[in-house]
Amino acid sequence: MSRLSEVVEKINSQAGFTGLIRYDEPMSAHTTFKTGGPADLWIRPGGDCFPGYAAELLGAAKAAGIPVFILGAGANLLVADRGIRGIVLDTGDWSGWNGPLVRETEAGEGACILVRAGTAVDALAEAAAALGWGGPDFLAGMPGSVGGAVWMNARCYGHSLSDILLETEILDESENRVVLPGRAEDFSYKKSPFQGREILILSARFALERRPPAGIRRDIEERRRDRKAKGHYRFPSAGSVFKNDRTFGKPTGQIIDELGLRGLGLGDAMVAPWHGNIIINRGNARSADVRSLIEEVACRVKAARGFDLEPELRFVGDW
Ligand SMILES: Cc1cc2nc3c(=O)[nH]c(=O)nc-3n(C[C@H](O)[C@H](O)[C@H](O)COP(=O)(O)OP(=O)(O)OC[C@H]3O[C@@H](n4cnc5c(N)ncnc54)[C@H](O)[C@@H]3O)c2cc1C
11, part of any domain: yes
Q: Are 209 and 128 in contact (CB under 8 A)?
A: no
Q: Is the CB of 223 under 6 A from ligand 1?
A: no
From 30, 55, 90, the end of a domain falls on 90
273, part of any domain: yes
Lowest mean pLDDT among 9-13, 159-163, 210-214, 290-294: 9-13
97, part of any domain: no
Between the CA of residue 304 and those of 171, 279, 300, what are the distances in Å? 45, 20, 6
The share of the chain scoring above pLDDT 70, in percent, equals: 97
157, part of any domain: yes
pLDDT (tens digit per residue) in 93-105:
999 987 667 777 6
Q: Are residues 174 and 251 in the same domain?
A: no
Q: Is the CB of 70 under 6 A from ligand 1?
A: yes
Helix (H) or strand (E) holding 150: helix 146-152
Residue 7 has a pLDDT of 80
CA of 153 from ligand 1 middle (Å) equals: 9
Q: Mean pLDDT throughout 264-272?
A: 98
96, part of any domain: no
Has residue 39 got a pLDDT over 70? yes
Q: Are residues 130 and 210 in the same domain?
A: yes
Q: N- to C-terminal Cα distance for the chain? A: 27
CATH of the domain at 71: 3.30.43.10
Q: Is the CB of 45 under 6 A from ligand 1?
A: no
Q: Which domain holds residue 130?
A: 102-229
Q: Are residues 221 and 261 in the same domain?
A: no
pLDDT (tens digit per residue) in 105-155:
666 667 899 999 999 999 999 999 998 899 999 999 999 999 999 999 999
CATH of the domain at 289: 3.90.78.10
Residue 108 has a pLDDT of 60
234, part of any domain: no
Q: Are residues 19 and 122 in the same domain?
A: no
Residue nearest to atom 37 of ligand 1 (CA): 148
> Does the predicted TM-score (pTM) go above 0.75?
yes
pLDDT (tens digit per residue) in 10-31:
777 776 888 999 999 999 999 9
From 168, 201, 229, the end of a domain falls on 229
22 forms beta bridges with 42
Has residue 199 got a pLDDT over 80? yes
Structural domain count, the chain: 3
